Amino acid sequence: MVNFTILAGGFAVPGFIATYNFDSEAGSLSLLGQSSTGDSPSWIAQHPQNRSILYAVNEISPVGDLQSFTIGEDGSVTLVDTVTSGGNGPTFSAVLSTGEVSAMNFGSPNCSFVATVEGDPLHFRTDSPVVSFTVPEGATSHPHMSLEHNGEIFVPDLGQDKIWRIVRDGEPGHFKIQGQIDIDPGTGPRHIAIQGAFSVRQHFIHPPRNRINIDRPTHPEAPNGTTLPLLANVSIIPENALPGTQFAAAEILISTPTDKFPNPLIYVSNRNISPNVTDPNGDTIAIFEFINGTDSNNNTAVSTSSQCSRKRMVKRAQRLFRREGEALKLLAQVPTGLQQIRSMALGRVDDGGMSLLLLVLTPRVVWLSSNEWTVEEI
């Protein structure tokens, strides 16, 4: 038996972070407790070197906050420090290799990379200025996440169809824009992921068009870049979607290669945001595999079940979207029985949790096992 401690934030006033215990043998998830936080801790991020430290953004208006916590042995969290995010409704946070903690202000045309006190990652400095984005008249800016790669920070701007390129500018907490990658108008990049240390590919999730893009290795040189050559650009919407459903993509994850899954898997969440139609099968997780021109085609059909039972398995005929000898293979569309899957997290390989995919939304948490693409509702 392996027990995993799971922390989850959400939209709540007063705010709290919930602590769960997941029993992998029993396939059970139990709520252990709730720890008080600032209002609406909608995104949480664990410190990569010190796993007893947690950060959270408070997605509130008119100005949000960034908070730090210690994680106790029982999984409860204790608030240590709070600092302003510098903008409206921060929706994402991540820890940089240089120690700063990002806060993406979705409701403002800016973001923050807040420095921590030297030698004390639990306490924030208060002199970290925001990075502001130029917004043309009549346009809007919605920075949605930050992704650090090779000394740069990429920030997808859902409102302006851009990915901003940001670098450090002198002192800790000080950053500047060095350029941008322009995306096709109306695509609205929300989240991105980069695969590989040398053969770099960016994966974009576009809520307005609900597609996943995979782009050619090597980023355009700074300061500016144009739209990258596409390797694949495919829909993530399930084929059997109910009439009247309206989907908006949310999260994208790429798994760490393992012996069982040597090719990284790409997980993408579909949210049905229609105010008029609710699918009892819930939102789906689309699972893709990127084949780099060396894998043989496998189009064997397998059984499909979409009944909304407590435990269900969905597999489907594998579909390949091929270009220039490379392919994006759709392995499965997994209905979850849940509504509005905003966040997901993969189990850590070094913890033995590599076969677990955690789906988080307010007010429920479920887990998905990659062994048979099964979903357990809690």
Query: In the prediction, which pLDDT does 1 show?
Result: 55
Q: Are residues 229 and 358 in the same domain?
A: yes
Q: Kindly report the CA angle at 144 between 140 and 146, in degrees rounded to 5?
A: 130
Q: Which domain holds residue 53?
A: 1-182
More confident residue, 300 or 92: 92
136 — pLDDT class (breaks 50, 70, 90):
very high
Query: In the prediction, which pLDDT does 213 show?
Result: 77
**CATH assignment of the domain containing 147:** 2.130.10.10
Q: Are residues 58 and 96 in the same domain?
A: yes
Report the alpha-carbon distance of residue 197 to residue 220 in Å, rounded. Answer: 16
In terms of phi and psi (left: phi > 0; alpha: psi -120 to 50; beta: otherwise), the region of 179 is: left
Query: In the prediction, which pLDDT does 16 show?
Result: 97
Peptide bond preceding 238: is omega within 30 degrees of 0, i.e. cis? Answer: no
Percent of the chain with pLDDT over 70: 75
9-29 confidence digits (pLDDT tens)? 999 999 999 999 988 788 788
Q: Are residues 189 and 205 in the same domain?
A: yes
pTM of the full predicted structure? 0.84
Q: Which of 216, 255, 254 is nearest to 233 (CA)?
A: 216
Q: Are residues 210 and 315 in the same domain?
A: yes
Report the alpha-carbon distance of residue 344 to residue 359 in Å, rounded. Answer: 5
Q: From the CB of residue 33, how many other CB atoms can be counted at a distance below 10 Å?
A: 13
Report the alpha-carbon distance of residue 189 to residue 93 in Å, rounded. Answer: 17
Q: Are residues 214 and 341 in the same domain?
A: yes
- Among 182, 207, 241, the domain-final residue is 182
Number of structural domains, the chain?
2
Q: Are residues 307 and 332 in the same domain?
A: yes
Query: In the prediction, which pLDDT does 98 show?
Result: 96
Q: Are residues 155 and 197 in the same domain?
A: no
Q: Are residues 320 and 205 in the same domain?
A: yes
Report the alpha-carbon distance of residue 273 to residue 252 in Å, rounded. Answer: 18
pLDDT at 222 over 90: no
In terms of phi and psi (left: phi > 0; alpha: psi -120 to 50; beta: otherwise), the region of 26 is: alpha
Distance (Å) of CA 249 to CA 147, 242, 291, 343, 347? 18, 16, 22, 11, 21
Q: Are residues 152 and 189 in the same domain?
A: no
> What's the gap between Cα 34 and its chain centre?
23
- Among 136, 159, 182, the domain-final residue is 182
Place of tokens 């920070």: 153
Q: Would you say 104 and 155 are in contact if contact means Cβ atoms under 8 Å apart?
A: yes
311-358 confidence digits (pLDDT tens)? 333 444 355 544 455 567 889 898 888 888 888 888 777 665 555 566
Q: Are residues 204 and 137 in the same domain?
A: no
Q: Are residues 237 and 282 in the same domain?
A: yes
Most confident of 195-199, 294-298, 323-327, 338-342: 338-342
Residues 6+ apart with CB under 8 A from 278: 272, 339
Q: Are residues 237 and 276 in the same domain?
A: yes
Residues 6+ apart with CB under 8 A from 371: 355
Least confident among 161-170, 255-264, 294-303, 349-358? 294-303
Write out the DSSP string of 144-161.
---EEETTEEEEEETTTT
* Average pLDDT of span 59-83: 98
Q: Would you say 110 and 129 are in contact if contact means Cβ atoms under 8 Å apart?
A: no
pLDDT at 271 over 60: yes
Exposed, middle or buried, 88 (CB in 10 Å: 0-12/13-18/19+)? middle
Tokens at 278, concatenated = 């609710």
- Among 149, 182, 215, the domain-final residue is 182
